[in-house]
Amino acid sequence: MTRRTLLTSTLTSAAALPFALHTPVASAASVAPPYTLSINIEIMFPRTMSRADRIQHVADQGFKAYSFWSASDAEQDAMLKVQQATGIKCASISGTGTAGSSTGLTRAGAEKAYFDEITARARIAAKFGGAQPIIFVGATQPDVPWETQRAQIVTGLKHAGDIAKEFGVQLVMEPLSRNPGLVRMALDTAAVAFPVIDEVGHPNVKICFDMYHLQLMEGNIATHLKQGLAKGWIALVQIGEVPGRLEPGTGEIDFGYIFKVLREADYKGYVDTEMGTSTTPEAAMQLTRRMSMEN
């Protein structure tokens, strides 16, 4: 049986399971990895399903952590009730908004809006038990020399780290890809981001290693993953296939090997499934757990 046939068979079997909101699933009888799987509730679930119900479903499937992007105050209250009732942990949230995706730390004079976003999201992250805010540092500014932008990023991230420290949370900066035709984000590859995080040298500022974006931007993700983990630069790992941002096995990334790398590195953080699914949420969650247990 080929790898493709095996994965297709696995997905087909998992997809046959009903979408029952309160049906716990037994774990595979393999050795658990050192990291904790986290289920992102934004992409793989129906939009008509409340975020509180999505969290409940993740907990009922036997997972210990979840992540989300943003939510209204009313939603947050409902989500926190489920979190407290189930004991599930929140791994990460979105840590920046419009400023982080535009002027960020790359346009001089725009820092206040950026730091206001960091402060607001750090406060929410603290409310959710110390979740990691995922941040961006802004788009590249074509009319500003890169050396100037880079210096502003380093200085700004040090200050952002101080803000995060006040709230007891750790920021994770994500190298982010953008569609062709759009201005590229600053620090959008591991090769560029790693030296900056090393220079920042702040314990409250690390890297979110999102394999979907990094595979699109530069590839070589296994080598960079090993390097980032060995140097202590990576504090959150996210998975999603290329192309499509779906579950492992639907694209070109060898996730079996990636999970082995994480296990061999004794990575003890979160591995977050920021991805959609080609079948059902259950199928995607169960397949990911099975691969993580077996590799």
How many domains in the chain? Answer: 1
Phi-psi region of 56 (alpha: psi -120 to 50; beta: other; left: phi over 0): alpha
Among candidate residues 97, 263, 236, the one with its CA nearest the CA of residue 175: 236
Q: How far is CA 294 from the centre of its chain?
A: 22
By the 10 Å C-beta count (0-12 exposed, 13-18 middle, 19+ buried), 201 is classed as exposed
**Structure token digits, residue 68:** 């989300």
Residue 120: Cβ within 10 Å count: 14
Please give the C-alpha separations between residue 203 and each of 157, 197, 235, in angstroms, as whole numbers. Answer: 11, 10, 10
What pLDDT shows up at residue 21?
43
- Beta strands 36-40 and 270-273, pairing class: parallel
Q: Which run of H or of E encompasses 99?
A: helix 98-101
Asked if residue 10 belongs to a domain, the reply is no
Residue 35: Cβ within 10 Å count: 18
Q: Which run of H or of E encompasses 81?
A: helix 73-86
* Residues whose CB falls within 8 Å of the CB of residue 48, separated by 6 or more in sequence, listed in order: none
CA–CA separation, 196 vs 198, rounded Å?
5
Asked if residue 97 belongs to a domain, the reply is yes
CA–CA separation, 131 vs 68, rounded Å?
10
CB 195 within 8 A of CB 233: no
What pLDDT shows up at residue 30?
78
What pLDDT shows up at residue 138?
98
Asked if residue 57 belongs to a domain, the reply is yes
Q: What are phi and psi of 251, to 5 degrees?
A: -145, -145
Asked if residue 30 belongs to a domain, the reply is no
Asked if residue 182 belongs to a domain, the reply is yes
CA–CA separation, 10 vs 23, rounded Å?
19
Q: How far is CA 135 from the centre of its chain?
A: 10
Asked if residue 14 belongs to a domain, the reply is no
Cis peptide upstream of residue 203 (ω within 30 degrees of 0): no
Asked if residue 145 belongs to a domain, the reply is yes
Q: 257: domain range?
A: 39-81+89-282
Among candidate residues 152, 272, 265, 151, the one with its CA nearest the CA of residue 209: 272
Asked if residue 23 belongs to a domain, the reply is no
CA–CA separation, 226 vs 222, rounded Å?
6
Q: Which residues of the chain have pLDDT under 70?
A: 1-29
**Structure token digits, residue 216:** 């699109």
Among candidate residues 187, 159, 164, 158, the one with its CA nearest the CA of residue 174: 187
- CA torsion, points 230, 226, 295, 274, in degrees to nearest 10? 100
What pLDDT shows up at residue 3?
40
Q: Domain of 130: which CATH number? A: 3.20.20.150
What pLDDT shows up at residue 17?
40
The pTM (predicted TM-score) of the whole model is: 0.89
Q: What pLDDT, in 10s, does the model give residues 122-178?
A: 999 999 999 999 999 999 999 999 999 999 999 999 999 999 999 999 999 999 999
